[in-house]
Amino acid sequence: MSEEIIEALNKQLNQELRNAYLYFAMAAYFQGLALSGFAHYFMVQAKEEVEHALKFYEYLTKRGWRVELYEVTPEKKNWSSVEEAVRDFYEAEKSNTQRIWRLVELAQKQGDKATEAFLQWFVNEQVEEEEQAMDLRTKVELVKGNIAALLALDRVLAERK
């Protein structure tokens, strides 16, 4: 693998951890609002991001490269509303899709078939991730200002596996 690809994969590993931090911060924010369903939803999301980081870790080490961990600082730790938080969730996932696509383009440009094949899982995963985030953002916009509907949504989110 080229130095450029190794560095880009390492960066994405660290980006997945940054996203995990962001979603842990969102879980804590929602817990503070006593919206434990939302908090649970983002806790599950944060754990998924750690799993994504591990996939990069395993791939890099399997190919014989050492993983480099950066300092992880959360982009944001607080939000002024439920709407703002779920909008940030959707934006974070859209940005992640772009990063994955750029990685795929880099692998293609360098003829690195193994990395391209490895990244395909993430290409598909991002379709799911964006759809999930968009769905939550739309639901939150629909219930805006209606506390009973927000609490009903909170109960639904508590079911996330």
- C-beta separation of 44 from 160 below 8 A: yes
CB 104, min distance to ligand FEO, A: 14
Cβ nearer to ligand FEO, comparing 18 with 150: 18
CA distance 17 to 75: 11
DSSP, res 66: -
CA distance 134 to 90: 6
Name which of residues 19 to 38 contact ligand FEO (CB under 6 A). Answer: 19
Of the residues 49, 88, 112, 154, which one makes contact with ligand FEO according to CB under 6 A: 49
Cβ nearer to ligand FEO, comparing 129 with 154: 129
Angle at 119 between CA 115 and CA 123, to 5 degrees: 155
Q: Does 88 bind ligand FEO (CB under 6 A)?
A: no
Cβ nearer to ligand FEO, comparing 23 with 150: 23
CA distance 136 to 42: 11
Of the residues 10, 14, 96, 115, which one makes contact with ligand FEO according to CB under 6 A: 96
Name which of residues 116 to 135 contact ligand FEO (CB under 6 A). Answer: 129
